[in-house]
Amino acid sequence: MLLEIWKYLRGYVIINVSGFSPERFINLCANRGIYIWNVKSVNNGFNLYISAKGFKLIRPLVKKTGCKVRITKKIGLPFRFLIFRKRKIFLFGMIICMAIVFLLSLFIWKIDIEGNSMYTDEHLIKFLNTQSHFVGMWKKDVKCSELEKILLKNYGNINWVTCEMTGTKLLIQIEEGRNNIKIEDLSKSCDILSNKKGVIVSIVTRTGSPKVVKGDVVEEGDVLVSGTLEIKELEEIKAIEFTHSDADIYMKTIYPYHDEVNLKYVNKIYTNNKKKDKALKILNFKLNLLKPRIKYSNYDKITTCDEICLFDNFYLPISTHKTSYEEYKLIEETYTNEQATNIINENMTRYLKELEDSKKQIVNNEIEIIESTDKIVADGIIVVIEKIGEKKYFDENERRQGYEEYFREDDSNTP
Amino acid sequence: MTISKKKKEKNNDKKFHIAEILEVPRDVALGDSIITLTGKREMLIENYKGIVEYDEQFLKVKTKNGLIELEGNHFLITYLTDEEIKITGQIKKIKY
């Protein structure tokens, strides 16, 4: 098998030897070390296979033996290259093509971002551009670990980043986390203040001294649970201690609601006139194939962009853009009262559902829908019970000083 | 002529003895050809001098110590080099 491959690589010829003494010719060939095989006797002489190299050496032998030699067939790789002699440009073109593809594979042609919902792809890609990572950069210039650090630092909501480079694609995977859980320092003392105005519905205190009870009306900023523990003996304060307050406080508050819908509105109706355009974009050059003249005054331009990629990860900087221009007309229309009322109701239901989803309990809604000549208005309040409480840390020493004076006074009072 | 032949024979015998004593292979010492036959289909002749006649049904090969004649059908020389030749075909007679 290997010998066959070797023979093919070197090239061989099938020749027909006829004449005076072909046997002598064969003997001479053998003596000179010229490789011959598959010798077959035919009518006038011999058909034999001879190596291409050997064939060049048989000229004097042919003369010596007085034979006639004719080539029947040429087989082998070297003979293929001779065909290319006339098609040099083809070969040249093939080499250039391979070189270009190889060269293109040294750049990054696509940046892919996965796992992001809060930040858009474009936003993150713009940020990467400012960090000198853009489509069309050298692959060796990509610094993955630095990118990861910078992304984590600049975006508080990103919890985990990996950057990977496969083929000509830069892949960035992100895991976002909402509201990083603050690690509370339970040794630091704090009060709990109210952040809204309302009526206390229930209060369960775990640590700290509560300053309000169920039914109290509180304003924004009032202290609900204090971190100062006054240790009393018969109505007299004997000692002060400070603690980290912790409590569950539920309050009834009011959310105002206002919504308006105009009866007259402008509607966007698509007339079915469309025009299509196709463009090819290589690197940064854009070639438009068609160029329709657009006579519409109002239209939507919708473009889809497809990038060419071989083998899944090997993107090339060639993309096709298909644009379609769709005309629309702006028509003034009026809602009927019913339609407008429906819209208002839908909006209201949606808002109420949002409130419920964020764990607020709706007690009552007093929303009035008022119809007037040119609009319908929904106005009113929603009464909600929600959990409130803002922790505010204080400085122990300052507070203590406040009580010092009290103690000193007290001391001076006692006989 | 006969004297030189006798001398040759004597020389050959001497050589033969030396070869036997030293246990040298006979084809190296005496120039004998080695014939390898595989059934009736293939024959490999090593250490030959040249081809005298070649036909589809007849082959004559010259060696140092004589001629080898082959008769049969569909003879095909698979390959030949300086020292060996391989023949395939239906061999019917072998003559020395």
Which pLDDT score is estimated for A409? 66
Buried residues in A61-91 as b, exposed as e (16+ CB within 10 A)? beeebebebeeeebebeeeeeeeeeeeeeee
Mean pLDDT of chain B: 84
Q: Over range A325-347, report the average pLDDT.
A: 83
Pick B51's closest partner by Cβ from A26, A33, A38. Answer: A26
Q: Check if the beta carbon of residue A147 is closer than 8 Å to that of residue A132.
A: no
Confidence of residue A88 (pLDDT cuts 50, 70, 90): confident
* pLDDT single digits (tens) A204-223: 988 888 888 888 888 888 88
Pick A40's closest partner by Cβ from B50, B76, B81. Answer: B76
Distance of CA A8 to the CA centre of its chain: 52
Helices (H) and strands (E) in chain A, counts: 10, 22
Buried residues in A159-184 as b, exposed as e (16+ CB within 10 A)? eebebeeebbbbbbebeeeeeeeeee
ipTM surpasses 0.90: no
What one-letter code names the amino acid at A316? Answer: L
pTM of the entire predicted model: 0.44
Pairing of strands A361-371, A314-334: unpaired
Q: How many CB atoms lie within 10 A of CB B8?
A: 10
Stretch 46-65 of chain B: residues touching chain A, C-beta under 8 Å: 50-56
Question: Would you call A23 and B82 a contact, using CB atoms and an 8 Å cutoff?
Answer: no
Which pLDDT score is estimated for A96? 93
Which residues does chain B have within 8 Å of residue A40's beta carbon, measured at their own beta carbons? 76-77
Domain ranges of chain B: 1-30, 32-96
Q: Check if the beta carbon of residue A169 is closer than 8 Å to that of residue A313.
A: yes
Stretch 150-209 of chain A: residues touching chain B, C-beta under 8 Å: none
Return d(Cα A307, Cα A120) in angstroms, integer. Answer: 20
**H helical segments located in A131-221:** 144-154
Question: Phi/psi at A172 (nearest 5 deg)?
Answer: -120, 120
Q: Check if the beta carbon of residue A176 is closer than 8 Å to that of residue A115.
A: yes
Which pLDDT score is estimated for B69? 92
Pick B76's closest partner by Cβ from A31, A36, A38. Answer: A38
Question: Would you call B81 and A30 a contact, using CB atoms and an 8 Å cutoff?
Answer: yes
Q: Check if the beta carbon of residue A46 is closer than 8 Å to that of residue A27.
A: no
Q: Over range A299-327, report the average pLDDT.
A: 79
Q: Over range A105-122, report the average pLDDT.
A: 84
Q: 3-state SS of B29-93? A: HHCCCEEEEECCCEEEEECCCEEEEECCCEEEEEECCEEEEEEEEEEEEEEECCCEEEEEEEEEE
Question: Would you call A37 and B80 a contact, using CB atoms and an 8 Å cutoff?
Answer: yes
Question: Phi/psi at A53 (nearest 5 deg)?
Answer: -60, -45
Question: Would you call A26 and B53 a contact, using CB atoms and an 8 Å cutoff?
Answer: no
Sign of the dihedral through C-alpha A268, A270, A273, A277: positive
Q: How many CB atoms lie within 10 A of CB B85?
A: 23
Write down the architecture of domain B32-96 according to CATH.
Sandwich (2.60)
- The residue ranges of chain B whose pLDDT is under 70 are 1-5, 8-9, 12, 26-29
**Tokens 């000549």, residue?**
A373
Question: Would you call A38 and B51 a contact, using CB atoms and an 8 Å cutoff?
Answer: no
Would an 8 Å CB–CB cutoff place A40 in contact with chain B?
yes
Residue A360: its H or E element: none
Which pLDDT score is estimated for A152? 83
Which pLDDT score is estimated for A124? 85
Half-sphere exposure of residue A273, counting CA atoms within 13 Å on the CB side?
13
Query: Would the pLDDT of A86 be above 80?
Result: no
* Distant-in-sequence contacts of B86-90, Cβ < 8 A, 24+ apart: B86/B42, B86/B43, B86/B44, B86/B45, B87/B42, B87/B43, B87/B44, B87/B45, B87/B59, B88/B41, B88/B42, B88/B43, B89/B41, B90/B40, B90/B41
Question: Phi/psi at B87 (nearest 5 deg)?
Answer: -120, 140
Confidence of residue A99 (pLDDT cuts 50, 70, 90): very high
Half-sphere exposure of residue A116, counting CA atoms within 13 Å on the CB side?
21
